[in-house]
Amino acid sequence: MRRIVTFTALSVLILPAAAACDSSTGDGGKTVTVAYQKFGAFTQMDDQMKKVKSQYEAAHPGSTVKLVPIEAAENDYYTKLSLMNRSANTAPDVMYEDTFLVNTDIAAGFLAPIDDHLAKWPDWSQFTDASKTAAKALDGKTYGVPMGTDTRALWYNKDLFAQAGITVPWEPKTWDDILATARTLKAKLPGVIPLNVYSGKAAGEAATMQGLEMLLYGTQDTLYDDAAKKWIGSSPGMLDSLGFIKTIYGEGLAPTPQDALDPNFGSRLSTELLPGGKLAIALDGSWQSGTWLPTGSKPWPQWNTVLGLAAMPTQKGQAPGRTSMSGGWVLSVGSKSKDKQAAFDFVSLALNKDNTLAYDIAASQIAERADVAADPAYLAANPTLKFFTDLVTVTHFRPAYADYPQVSNAIQVAMEAVMTGQQSPQQAVTAFGNQLKQVVGPDKVK
């Protein structure tokens, strides 16, 4: 399947990277080009890559690392990276890949298998068996090394809850409990957004994963039937999940659609709305506190005192009572790299024990190396670590097949139609099912 991208003025923005992808520096050395996302409050990756660049160049005299930080929101990052990969002149040697796109980018011919390199890398034994599957493709080969994983839950402002007369710790058992709390917050605290659940095209994969899938998998329905090997176009869980979106946006329990559809809303949430007491509940990820640590882009010393955490309940409290979604990112070697050994050398350096420890602490990642997970510095770094790690027992993963990005896009369209009042949940489910048949084929939908 070819990955579908929209060719816009974005392509102009990546042209300066073209000269950076040569295999030599002109003095006999090599150039390794590294592309990654740098956006909004997420600066930890940029800091990490600058550090690894210095280490690599010191260890490889005469070689140069060319960093290509792509300053773009999530969907635009994927588009720009895809545009870079379409030409050998601009394709990076190393790239920062969201795990759900690995199979898509393999199908597009963008990534190189790295099994031969991994077999010679002693550190690979430190990665958990589960993490090793993050970038393993349907062909059985591995196409990336994981940087860390995550889970998702409900962040809530204890001060705002106290002002609204809501008891803490808050432990909602059902969706109805969440809605009842949001309605109380709306009535008692005008000017405060009661609840954020990402929705719509502008939020990209955050809408699909932190939004719809956090709801859907809590109904015990899924997106994909592994036994039948088919996508699920319609289910009671999908209808109820879109019904939840309709309720929170229709009743004004969520941000206005205009705010929610701002591509910068996620950055505003972590740097302004939560620290500023303007948002009471956020369905969001374990990484959020990385923004507020002393090393983050928006230090907030009081964050752990002000904010509480609650697991996302299943729809009606059915077993196991809690639900979460997990994802993660990897560093991959580009298929068009002229020196894949040099590219892998950068990856292995970036994700050795010391560098992984520093990144997982700074970015509030759940460690996927056993030696990092056991390190006292990691264990003491963040008071939310145990809470989010415990959610791994109830977490779910996206069906990361090559068709998934198009399925995700169809979900975002359905969510946006409901949140803006253009369609009812039932109409949106019907439209989603029809779109699904178009993008994956009617024989792959049940």
Residue 384 sits in a domain whose CATH number is: 3.40.190.10
Domain of 286? 152-326+403-444
Structure confidence at residue 329 (pLDDT): 93
Structure confidence at residue 1 (pLDDT): 33
Whether 217 and 287 map to the same domain: the answer is yes
- The count of structural domains within the chain is 2
Q: Residue 125: which residues within 8 A CB-CB, separation 6 or more? A: none
At which of 348, 373, 392 does a domain end? 392
Structure confidence at residue 40 (pLDDT): 66
Q: Is 42 within the bounds of a domain?
A: yes
Whether 365 and 285 map to the same domain: the answer is no
Q: What is the mean pLDDT for each group of 10 consecutive residues in the chain (446 residues)? A: 34 39 52 91 88 98 97 88 96 95 92 98 93 86 95 98 98 98 98 98 95 97 94 97 98 97 94 97 96 91 98 98 95 98 98 97 93 94 94 90 93 98 98 97 96
Structure confidence at residue 3 (pLDDT): 33
Q: How far apart are CA 395 and CA 392, in angstroms?
A: 5
Whether 36 and 16 map to the same domain: the answer is yes
Whether 190 and 77 map to the same domain: the answer is no
Asked whether 311 and 390 are in contact (CB, 8 A), the reply is no
Q: Kindly state the tokens that stand for 384.
A: 């939310």
Q: How far apart are CA 276 and CA 191, in angstroms?
A: 12
Structure confidence at residue 41 (pLDDT): 60
- For residue 232, what are the CA distances in angstroms to 209, 224, 285, 382? 16, 6, 26, 38
Angle at 388 between CA 401 and CA 157, to 5 degrees: 115
Q: How far apart are CA 22 and CA 25, in angstroms?
A: 7
Whether 277 and 426 map to the same domain: the answer is yes
Asked whether 336 and 23 are in contact (CB, 8 A), the reply is no
Bridge partners, 95 (sequence order): 35, 332
Structure confidence at residue 23 (pLDDT): 47
| Whole-prediction pTM | 0.85
At which of 373, 392, 411 does a domain end? 392
